[in-house]
Amino acid sequence: MSLKDIIKQPEGRRLEFKEAIPTKAELEKTIVAFSNDAGGVLYIGVRDEPREVVGIPEGDLIKLEEQVSNIIHDNCYPIIIPNISSVVFDDKFLLKVEIYRGNNLPYYLKASGKTQGTYMRVGSSNRLASPEIIAELERQKRNISFDSELIYEKAFSDIDITNLLAFYKEKTGEVLDENSLKKLNLIVPHQDNLKATHALVLFSNDPLRESMFQNANVDCARFKGTTRHEFIDKKTIETNIALQAEAAYNFVLKHINKGAAVKGIYTKDRWEYPVIAIREVIRNAIVHRDYSLTGKNIKVAIYDDMIEITSPGRLSPTIDFNELEAGQSDVRNKVIAPVFRKLGVIDQWGNGLKLISEELKDYPEIDFKWMEIGLQFQVQFIKKNYIAPKEDKGFGFLVDEYGLDINEIEKDLGERSLVILKMMSENSKITSSELAEVIEVAEITIKRDIKELTDKKYLDRTGSKKTGDWLIINQKQD
């Protein structure tokens, strides 16, 4: 990329602009953050907002280079060796400070120490690294992964892996015996015993998985419209990670349309979205997510105008989604990934990104976007020509299908009751807590509304309290 094109780029994970040399504290944090992440380049002599090349006086270049070099040498640890050079753009001089990803992780500010001085690049800002991130950097230095770490809470022989054994046999035709578990590093000899790794627990249905990895799940949701204000259906996939990809993919297929498309002289069925590409993104999210990060599940969100998949953990520094056909392959989870290869979910040649690229060529009406949001990686499949329907309350079908007098209900019980009826018509198993979450009122308020709807013969309940269904009473049949 030419310098002219670089200067047009927004600041981000690998790029920063400064009009003049930043403060010592700002410079230290940027250099440390670049070293801990994918590396990066700082251009001095470029105003960011509005973007303008202001340059540096030629006579100040050597002095400025020495000043930057000394700050980095004196204040960053372990030693960081920058590549500092001057470049010319439109007859103006810039100082280019290039930092490479370091091998002696983590890097931090000497004065602050490791726990308070380690910074990571998040978007275009430098953020203090959490203990989880520092631990991950130390694992990267030792070339080990979180999923390969050992479990001491429970003996390997006491962990329930019956579902994994059956699934492995079904997919590979092989028996996953003790020797196979060792070869796959799912169990590791340790002090005359066999210890399970984090990966084995994630593949298991043992209660230990739920207690140790409460966020190793996939949240799926179909929202009404183009926002998250109202959902039609939702599901949290809490099974072991071997089964999650298929379950999430099936949820997507359930909520998108399939129609007929003419190709040549033949008519073929065609999904409204590139489902192979979506399948590969879901698989990659599960295989390559950062399982050391707590508090976030993978999220698969379906809107009227797009499908959005978000995975905890940033994209590996060596992977570029702008080069989908390059056959890129990198592994965050060094134990999990080989197991998925054996199961046939991924291959070792980076063909997943190629499959995404190839199918997108057949969907010119779909825009493919990816971005890093904090410590998460997000992919979007967006309908370019989406036209939003005319805005209305969406209650007309309650009249058409059930013969309800919506004006009377709104006057007597309020619009919230109409919203409840509408959501129950779309999801008969919806709970009062889920209704409260979406409508953003207290659950006791929802329960009172439901009681009024039931008492006034608009609503009934069939089946048990836990697993039953809501039934809107059809007034046409009265």
Identify which of 382, 386, 468, 378 has the alpha carbon closest to the alpha carbon of residue 428: 468
Angstrom distance (rounded) from CA 143 to CA 105: 11
Domain extent listing, the chain: 3-130, 146-212, 218-383, 396-477
Question: Coil, strand or helix: which one is 71?
Answer: helix
Chain-centroid distance of CA 459 in Å reads 39
Supply the pLDDT for residue 322: 55
Supply the pLDDT for residue 267: 52
Is 396-477 in the same CATH topology as 3-130?
no
Supply the pLDDT for residue 453: 92
Angstrom distance (rounded) from CA 319 to CA 207: 35
Supply the pLDDT for residue 350: 55
How many CB atoms sit inside 10 A of residue 125's CB?
15
**The two structure tokens encoding residue 178:** 């003790």
Residues in contact with 227: Cβ distance below 8 Å, sequence separation at least 6, in sequence order: 303
Angstrom distance (rounded) from CA 83 to CA 40: 11
Contact 358, 274 (CB under 8 A): no
**The two structure tokens encoding residue 421:** 């009826």
Phi/psi of residue 367, each to 5°?
Answer: -95, 130
Contact 40, 124 (CB under 8 A): no
Angstrom distance (rounded) from CA 169 to CA 166: 5
Alpha carbon of 22 to those of 28, 275, 448, 464: distances in Å? 9, 47, 59, 65
Contact 239, 297 (CB under 8 A): no
**The two structure tokens encoding residue 179:** 């020797």
Angstrom distance (rounded) from CA 338 to CA 35: 29
CATH class of 396-477: mainly alpha
Supply angle C-alpha 53, 58, 61, rounded to 5. Answer: 90
Angstrom distance (rounded) from CA 213 to CA 199: 11
Q: Which CATH number fits domain 218-383: 1.10.3720.10, 3.30.565.60, 3.40.50.1820, 3.40.50.1100?
A: 3.30.565.60
- State yes or no: cis peptide before 78, omega within 30 of 0: yes
**The two structure tokens encoding residue 471:** 């039934």
Q: Which amino acid is at 271?
A: W
Superfamily for the 3-130 domain: Schlafen, AAA domain (3.30.950.30)
pLDDT tens, N- to C-terminus, the chain (478 residues): 899 999 999 998 899 999 999 999 999 999 999 999 989 999 999 998 889 999 999 999 999 999 999 999 999 999 999 999 999 999 999 999 999 999 999 999 999 999 999 999 988 899 999 999 999 999 999 999 999 999 998 999 999 999 999 999 999 999 999 999 999 999 999 988 999 999 999 999 999 999 999 999 999 999 988 988 888 999 999 999 999 999 999 999 999 988 755 555 555 678 999 999 999 999 999 999 999 988 889 999 999 999 999 999 987 766 655 554 555 556 889 999 999 999 988 765 456 678 888 899 999 999 999 888 888 999 999 999 888 765 445 677 788 788 888 888 888 888 888 889 888 888 888 988 888 887 878 889 999 999 999 999 999 998 887 788 899 988 876 5
Angstrom distance (rounded) from CA 86 to CA 95: 5
Supply the pLDDT for residue 349: 45
